[in-house]
Amino acid sequence: PIYSPDSSRYDNGMKYRRCGRSGILLPEISLGLWHNFGDVNTFANSQAMAHHAFDKGITHFDLANNYGPSYGSAEETFGMIMKKSFMPYRDELFISTKAGHDMWPGPYGEWGSRKYLMTSLNQSLRRMNLDYVDIFYSHRYDPDTPLEETLQTLVDIVRQGKALYVGISKYPKAAAEFAYRYLAERDVHCLLYQGRYNIFNREPEEEGILQQAKENGTGFIAFSPLAQGLLTNRYLNGIPDDSRIAKGGFLKKEALTDETLKKIKALNEVATQRGQTLAEMALAWLLKDDMVTSVIIGASSVAQLDDNLQSIKNTKFTAEELEKINQIDSL
């Protein structure tokens, strides 16, 4: 059947936030394709999640060259979805990709060289059936490549029209400062900083990355907002067979210590008192003020996606709730 999106997709409760000093609004919830969209996953489920997301007003899809597994396959899956259903809506979508991590063998398949970034983006565009991406990121700071080389490549990518905007991910604060200035001096605004941020990982707040982005007019978009699933009800009663830990990926069994499980259970209590699931509360916590533009969630089912979408209905916290969450986190 030919996909036809929900005609009330912009009246389904999604809220949009301005991304720093820019013309772009992003949905409070964005969908990441790191897991569950590879060639190891069923296309039907990946497609169902993408369709459902768009039907609910999620306009931003976050990808990277090596998402899968296998490398490149999440972009291929997305490319198929583009071709089969999303192409008529291309201009309603805000699509990202990145290069920086391991992608192909040899010296030119990772890090921050011009050679790698340019050729990787060309490959990504082909896989996704796109002429351009909305935002292209330097996926990680490369301590060995001159930062000027990486950043000039971002500038040139914009000039070539292969990306409308650029961003940086996981850059240390000093490198981010350099990047914001270098890009701005060339009239290319850095639209987004993408960093890991959740109740268990407060680095962007503690290191001043959030404040720095704000001062530079750059939006902040949070990845792994659920700590890869730890900040949900997923592991409350053991490790389910179909979970990320059981499947053996980046989330290791060792991450689920007795200490962490204790915290998860205590946080789950706070969530229940708020009338939210733990996942909903964890996302709402990130959206409680204007420091975060959007959260990029991962999901392995439409049901999880739906749960996560509920979070935006209540992003207000009392001082007592915030204090309680901090206490639990520092247990």
Contact residues for ligand NDP (CB under 6 A)? 32-36, 62, 139, 169-170, 194, 223-229, 232-234, 243-244, 279, 296-300, 304, 307-308
| DSSP β-ladder status, 94-99 and 294-297 | unpaired
Closer residue to ligand NDP in complex, CB, 80/279: 279
**Among candidate residues 69, 64, 93, the one with its CA nearest the CA of residue 81:** 93
Q: How far is the CB of 241 from ligand NDP (least distance, A)?
A: 10
Q: How far is the CB of 309 from ligand NDP (least distance, A)?
A: 9
Q: Which tokens in the block code for residue 179?
A: 């990047």
CB contact at 8 A, 246 and 239: yes
SS (H, E, C) 235-279: CCCCCCCCCHHHHCCCCCHHHCCHHHHHHHHHHHHHHHHHCCCHH
Q: How far is the CB of 150 from ligand NDP (least distance, A)?
A: 15
Closer residue to ligand NDP in complex, CB, 281/328: 281
Q: How far is the CB of 324 from ligand NDP (least distance, A)?
A: 21
Closer residue to ligand NDP in complex, CB, 186/260: 260
Closer residue to ligand NDP in complex, CB, 159/252: 252
Q: How far is the CB of 49 from ligand NDP (least distance, A)?
A: 10
Closer residue to ligand NDP in complex, CB, 27/298: 298
